[in-house]
Amino acid sequence: MRTLPFVIAALFLSTPTGAQQAAPQFGGNPPANYGGYAFVECTATNKPAVRLVLMQGVVPAALPATAPRPFLAVILPGTVDTITGKDIALSKDPAGPGTIVSCPVVGSCVAAETGTVNIQRRAEDGAMTGEFRATWPPIPLRIGKFTVGWRDSGKTCG
């Protein structure tokens, strides 16, 4: 019994702290890295939009009927060519230039109050890399980098 406090102290001291802990995407920690997939969908006005589904974990090989949870969805009106290489503002207004939505394992999806996303490049196979910065109250800032593969949705809009 006398060794129990020392064992507990040793376990406590061996626990990682600061930026080494999980959930590095919050606060001043380094950005989280997301995988995922992207595809074209049609808006309510039958215009094209690019949807990026960002997730940490196993990325489905094909376009699933519904996104696996938890995930982030970035919805950007336009085509891949019109959104690549630009800083696009994000807001919770679905009619705005872009939206990012956080969908937890259980519960409702919530759009970020503000933010930006930048799709930095698109590879020959359609894969895209980029990063985002967004705020969801009470989270002050969530930062992430992503690489998403392209999935053919078969959608033609307009």
Report d(CA 52, CA 34) in Å as an integer: 11
Number of domains observed in the structure of the chain? 1
Give the containing element (helix H, strand E) for 108. none
Residue 12 lies in a domain: no
Query: What pLDDT, in 10s, does the model give residues 10-51?
Result: 433 333 333 333 344 445 567 899 999 999 999 889 999 999
The answer to whether residue 20 is domain-embedded is no
Residue 48 lies in a domain: yes
Task: Specify if 21 maps to a domain.
Answer: no
Share of the chain above pLDDT 90, in %: 61
pTM of model > 0.75:
yes
Domain that holds residue 110: 32-150
Q: What residue spans of 4-99 are helical by DSSP H? A: 4-14, 80-83
Q: Is residue 118 part of a domain?
A: yes
